[in-house]
Structure 1
Amino acid sequence: MKTKHLVTYNFITIHQDATVREVLQSFLDYRQDIACVVEEKKLIGIVTKYSLYRWLLDHANLEANIIHCIKRDVVTLLEEESVYYAKDLLVKENIGHAVVLNKYEDVVGIISKSELIKGFISERQNLVNRLQTLMNNLQESVLSVDTHLHVTSYNTSALTILHKTKSELTGQPITQTFPQIAANLRAVIRTKEIIKHKRLSIGDNTLIASFIPLKEWDTITGAMVVLKDITDFEYIADELETTKKLENMLDNALEVAYDGVVMIDNERNITKANKEFLSLIGISNSSSILGTSIDTVAPELTNHKHTIHSEKIVGELITIQGKKAILTQTPIYQDEQQVGTIIKLISKQLDVWKDLLSHLEKLEHELTYYKESFTAMGQHAGPFAHIVSKSSSMEELKQKALIAARSFSNILITGKSGTGKELIADGIHSASGRTGKFIKINCAAIPEELLESEIFGYSDGAFTGAKKGGKPGKFELAHEGTLFLDEIGDMPMTLQAKLLRILQEKEFERVGGTETIKVDTRIIAATNQDPAKLIAEGTFREDLYYRINVIQLHIPPLSERQEDIQLLCDHFIKKFNTKTNRDVIGISQEHLEKLLDYEWPGNVRQLENVLERAYHFSTSKWIDPEHIVLEKSRDPEASDTHKPPNERLDREKKLQETEKNMLIQALKNAGGNRTKAAKLLGMSRSSFYNKLKKYEVKEATQFM
C-alpha cells in the first residue's frame, strides 16, 4: 500500500499574508489542526493550532499576520512512497502529521498517524479476508485448535469432509468428535514437532493428515491439522490395478490365440500383435514393430479394397505374404469415440471353413424366417410403416395395398425403377396373414439358363454340377406364403408358359424331376415396363398378363409426390448417422429447393444414392450443397413425368383400349360364353365381369 491511498486531500491551504483570525476560522471550518502555507502549489511551511495558541498568549492580536507562526522545517513524504516508510518516518521524527508531495513537489495532501493506523487495520482485515477465502477454496481441509484442543478455526472443506456444521465445531473440544485427530494434535502440542502424512479413516473416507504446531512469540498456542481426502485416488488406483490385470489377461489371450491378431490406434500405428500375426508377416520380435504404421508392416491390408480402420469387416478373403487369409476387422470405441481397431487374420486350415460355407444356404433361409418374425412383431405399427411418405397418392396406394393384401388374388405392381415396388410387396405379404415365407426373385438378374431351376428347383442329377439331393425352387419355398416376381417383364417366354400352368393348376415338377408338387403360393409380380407394349411386341403372354393382373397397384414416381422428398431426406440421413456414428442434422430448406426442382428419373433409389454421396463428402453438421450432384437424365423417356400431360393420357388410353380389345377377342373365341372367355384369359369370373363393366362391353353384337 502506498501513501497516496491514505492521504487526506481535503486539507487547509493558506498564504503568507493571512491573518491569525483567518487561519483560526479555517481550523474551525475544516475541523483540522494543521494548515499548509503554499505559494504557487509549493510548500512554504505549516501552521498548527498549537503554534497559534502560543503566539496569541504572547501577543493577543487576532489581526496580526501569521508569518511569525509558520514552521518552515517541515517533514514531507512523496505520495508514491510506502505507508511503512511513512510510519517509520513519523515515529522517528515524533510528529503526528506529514505533508504529502507529488513527483513535481507540489502539495497534494496531509497524512496523519491516525490515518496510517486505520490503513494498517484495513490492510490487516483485507489480508485476513484473503487468507480466509484462500482457506475456504483449498481442496485440503484445515482445522486448528488451542492448547486445550478446542476448535478455533476451520475452512469450508473441513465442514464437508468431517460432516459437521459450524455450531458443532466452533469452540467445541475435538476430543469428543474425532479422537483419532485429537490424539495426534495433543502429541504435536506436547512435542512441538510436525507429524506428516498420517493415514486416517473417517466414516467411508480415507484421509492423509499432517499435524503442525502453532506458535506466537516462540510459545505454543495450539495446533493445526491439514486433511486430504484420497478416497477417489484409491479408487483410481484400484481401477489402474484392475486395468493392468486385464491388459495382462489380454496379452496372454492373444498369445494363445490360434488366429493372427494385431491392434492399431487412430494413427494406424501398431499397439499390440501376437505371435501368429508375427509368424504370418515373417517377423520374430513384436518390439520391432510396435509403434510402426500398419501400412509399412503389412501393406497388403492397406491395399485391400476396404479402408483399414474406418469400418467393420467380416470374413473377407485376402492374400498376405503370399498366403491366403480371412480378414475380420472391428473398430474399438471408448465413450462413443473410436480409439483404435482390432484386426484378426485366419490363415491356418482354411479348408475347415468349407463346411461352414455349405451351410450358408440354410442360414439364408433361417435369416428370412427371423426377418419375417421381426416384421410380424412390428405389425402394431402397420405393415407399410417402413414406407416413408405423407403424400396423398402414396397414402391412397397404401390403403389399396392393405385391401389387396387381405384378398386371395394375384397382384401386379407397376412403377418406374426405384419407386419401392419390393417394399410394397413386402408390406402386402406382412398384412396378408399368410403363414409361409416371403420369397423374392429378380427375373432380370438371373441368367435365362438358371432362372428355371431357381424358380422351380431341380432334382438330383438334373444337370452337370447339380447339388446332390436336388434343390427346392422358389415356388416350394413360398408354399403358403408369397412369391415376389420382380421385373417379370424380363421373364423368357418359355418360362411364362410354365408359370401360367402353375398358376392355373397349383402344381409343377422340378427341373429333371417327375414328381408333381402341389403348392399354395400367392404371386405378387412387379415390372417397370409397359405391359401392353410387351404384349404388342410379342415378348409377354397376354393370358399370363391377365392371370397376374387381377389387382393392379401403380406406384407414382417421386416427381409426382414432392411433399415426400424432405421426409425421405430426413429418413435417409438418420439411417446414415446410425451406420457411421456421426450426427449430421440434415439439409437446409434453402438447399432442399435444389432437390424439389429435380425430376428424379431414378426415383427414391436415386435420391438415397445422391444423399449418401453428399453425406460422406460433407464435413459440417449440414449436408453441403456443393456435394449434391444431380445427373441429367440420359433417357428422355425414363419417366412418364418427362412427357407432356397429353402424351401420358394418350398412353393410358392406348393401354385401356388394348385391354378392352383383349376382352372382346376372348369373348369372340369363346362364342360369347363369358365363363369360358374368363378361363381363356386366366382370370376369375368376378374379375372378368368387373372389367366388362369397366369398359362397358354389354351386347353380344359387339363381338359376334
Structure 2
Amino acid sequence: MFLIPKTTLVKDAMSKDFIMVYEEDKLKLCLEEMLKNNLTDIFVIDENKNIRGLLTLTDIAKIKIKKLNEYLPIKNFMSKEIVTVTKDISLLECRNIMIKNKIARLPVVENRSLIGVIRVEQLRDYFYMKMEELGGKLNHIINHIYEAVCVVDKEGIVVIWNKNSEKLYKVLAKDIIGKKLKDFFPKAILLKVLETRMGVADVYHCPPRKDTDVVVSAHPIFIDGEFVGAVSTDRDITQVKKLSYQLEKANSTLKFLENEVKKFSSSNFGNIIGKSQKLIKTIETARQVAKTNASILILGESGTGKEVFARAIHDYSQREGLFVPVNCSAIPSELFESEFFGYEAGAFTGASKKGKIGIFELANNGTVFLDEIADLPMHMQAKLLRVLQEKEIRRVGGEKTININVRIISATNKNLKKMSEEETFREDLYYRLNVVELSLPPLRERDGDIVLLIHNFLKEMCEQNNKKIPQIEREVIDILQNYEWRGNIRELKNTIEHLVVLSKDDTITKELVPNYIMEKVNKKIKKEEYPMDLNKAVLKVEIDTIKRALKISGGNKAKAAKLLNIPRSTLYYKMDLYKI
C-alpha cells in the first residue's frame, strides 16, 4: 500500500563519502584529511584493505585534551571495537543497532572491505523525510474521509481539523489548529471525552446549524498506556435523514394505497350513481369548484355518500397528491395532534423510534377529507385553523416547520352553522371550511335513483359473493321504492347484500325483504289509503293531522293547537274523542 514505506536497504542509502588510511599513517596527517574533507570520522585499514579501526572527532578531542604526540601512527589511537553491517540489511535495522550500541555510524563492509558508511545524520534525514511523506499522505487521507475529523491533545488544543470539519462547522483549519477547541465549541462532545477519558459512539448532537443533523463518535487516545488526547468523527446525517424521511413517507404512502385498494375492492364503488335533478345540480356545482383550491363543506344525512362525493371531487381536480379520508369522531382526543401533524422520534412515551408523518404531510399536494368535522375537539379546531391560514405544520416534538399544499373537504350531518352560533364550533373555522357548501339530497328525495342503485349494488354484491346475478321481482322493487331509507345509500346497499346472499333459484322474492322494511312500507301504504265513505275519510284525515301536529310540536298541546289553527279546548276535546 502507498501508506506503508518501502523497506530501504543499506546499499541504496549508504554514503560513499569516507576516508580510509593505513594503520601506519601519522595521526597529524589523518587529522588534516578529516578537516580537508569536512568529515567527522576516518576509517583505518590494513595492507589488504580490510577495516581495522575507526577514529572520530570525539576521539580526536580527547587526544587534544591529553596533548598526545600527533606524529605517532593512527593505530595507537583508533577504536578497534567497531560494529559493521552488510549492504543488504535495512536502515531500520541499522537504527536499532546504533541505539543498542550507542554509536553514531556503521561501516558497511563486503568481504571485510569497506564499501560505504551509514551515519546517524543520514538516518535522521531519511526518517524525517519519510515522516514528512507519510504525514502528507495521512493528511490527504484524513481530508478525504467523509466524516468531520477532529483531534485534540490532552490540553484540548486542536492538532487535526480536516476539510469536512471545515465544511460542516464553517471554521477553517488555519483558524482553529493550535487553539483550544472549547473557545470555538464549548459544548463539544469531544471535550467531555477529554475530561472523562471515556469514549462515546453514534451520539446525536445538537446541530451546529439549524439545517444540519450530526451524529458524533469520540474516543480518548492512549499511547503505551499514556493519555495523549482524543479524536472525534462527526457524521453529517442530514441527507440520510432526508432519505429516511422520504422512504418513511413512501412506505406510509404505499401502506395507505394498499388500504385504499382494499376499500375500493370491498365497500366503495368510487362513482356517483344517479340522475335525479337534485343530485345532478349538486354534481354540476362540485365539478365547477373541483379544480379550484376552495375549501368545500359537504352536508347530508348519514349514508348519503359524502366520502364518495369528496373522492369524486378530488379525482376530478387532478391534484397530484393523495386523497386522505379522516373520520374525526374515530380518533381519540389525545391522539389528534400526532395523527394530524405527525411526530418526531421519541416525541412521547410509546412513540415510534422512527417517528411518523401525519395526515397533512401524507396528503401534501392532495386532499384531506375531514368526515364528521363537527366532532373535532375545540383545541384541534384552533390548530386546524392555523394550518389553513399559514399552510404549514410542525410535527409533535419537532422544531422545523413543514410547508404543505392541501385542499380541505369536510363533511357533517349536523347543523354546523347552528353549532357555531351556540359556540360549540369555532365560527372562524366554520367560514374557512364553508367556502363552498354542497348539500347532498337524501335517497328518498332522489326520484328514479333507487332503481339505478338497486341494479348497481346487485351486480357488485354478486361479484363479491361469486353468485350469478338473480332476477328481482317487480313487487320487490316497488317495496324498496316506497321505503323511506333513513339510512340512505348505505342502508340500501346493506339491504341488497342481504337479498343477494339469501336468494335462491336465481330470484329475489318479496319473502326475502327484511321485516322492518315490510312493516314500514305497509304502514305507509295503510296510512295513505282512505275509505270510500266520506265521513270516515274525513275522520281519518282529522286524526292523522292531529297526530302529526303533536309530533311536530313535541307533544306541546298549545303549539299543536296553534299549528292546527283551532282553540286549545277544541284540541283537548278531539284528543279525548279519538282517544289520541
Shorter chain as denominator, the TM-score bin is 0.3 to 0.5
TM-score computed with the length of structure 2 as normaliser: 0.44
TM-score computed with the length of structure 1 as normaliser: 0.36
